[in-house]
Structures are given as C-alpha cells and as structure tokens.
C-alpha cells in the first residue's frame, strides 16, 4: 500500500470506530483533505516516531451538522496537542473554525 491508501484506510477505520461508539448521532462523515493544517495553515507534514513516519489523524464532531470530520494536523500542532501545552488550547478553536468553514463550503458546492 502506498501512503495515500494507508491514509484512506485509516480514515475509514476511524469512521468505523466512531460509528460503533456514537451510532446514529453521526449522520455524515467527511474527510478534510486540504493540503494545509487547519490549526496553523502550514503544509501538512509527517511526525517522526523513532524511524517511522507518522501522520496525525484526528476527528472533530460538528454537532450542528451531525457530521464527523476527520482531519490531519501538521507536526507542530500535533506535538503541541500531544503535549497538552498551553498553546494547544489556542489551536483547537482555530481547527474547529477552519473545519466548519471548509465543511460548509463543501456542502454549498455540492448542493449547487
């Protein structure tokens, strides 16, 4: 499998897990596949775990739309959040706002 296939299967797995955890609460699933990090606008890059490259795959529940959004973070934001640093608290609202806007754009485009 190449990286993209690995990513796609990871996203599906995440959606599957979420479905068994939350069931009918989630009506839609969406993957934010932008090139840039929703936390800071940098290019998405990989994290290093020893010799392995890893990506930071996360999910956000957009309750108003009953939609679970999966997204990637850059290595900077991912490590801030992983460390639960003070900065990480400031990253979350940005991520949420960017994801909501992108999703609403997507919905508008697909309905027109």
Write out the residues near Zn ion by the rule CB under 5 A: 37, 39-40, 42, 74, 76-77
9 φ/ψ sector (left φ>0, alpha ψ -120 to 50, else beta):
alpha
Cβ-based neighbours of 10, under 8 Å, separated by 6 or more: 55, 57
Give me the least distance between CB of 68 and Zn ion, in Å please: 21
Nearest to Zn ion of 46, 76 (CB atom): 76
Nearest to Zn ion of 39, 55 (CB atom): 39
Question: What DSSP character marks residue 35?
Answer: S
Nearest to Zn ion of 27, 35 (CB atom): 35
Give me the least distance between CB of 84 and Zn ion, in Å please: 16
Give me the least distance between CB of 47 and Zn ion, in Å please: 11
d(CA 47, CA 75): 5
Name the residue with tokens 């900065």.
Answer: 87
d(CA 49, CA 106): 33
Give me the least distance between CB of 28 and Zn ion, in Å please: 25
């Amino acid at each position: 499998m190449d990286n993209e296939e690995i990513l796609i299967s990871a996203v599906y797995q995440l959606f599957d897990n979420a479905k068994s955890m939350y069931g009918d609460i989630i009506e839609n699933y969406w993957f934010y596949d932008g090139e840039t990090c929703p936390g800071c606008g940098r290019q998405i890059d990989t994290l290093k775990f020893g010799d392995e490259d890893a990506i930071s795959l996360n999910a956000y529940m957009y309750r108003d739309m009953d939609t679970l959004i999966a997204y990637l973070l850059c290595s900077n934001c991912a490590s801030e959040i992983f460390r639960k640093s003070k900065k990480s608290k400031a990253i979350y609202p940005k991520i949420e706002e960017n994801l909501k806007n992108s999703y609403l754009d997507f919905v508008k485009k697909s309905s027109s």
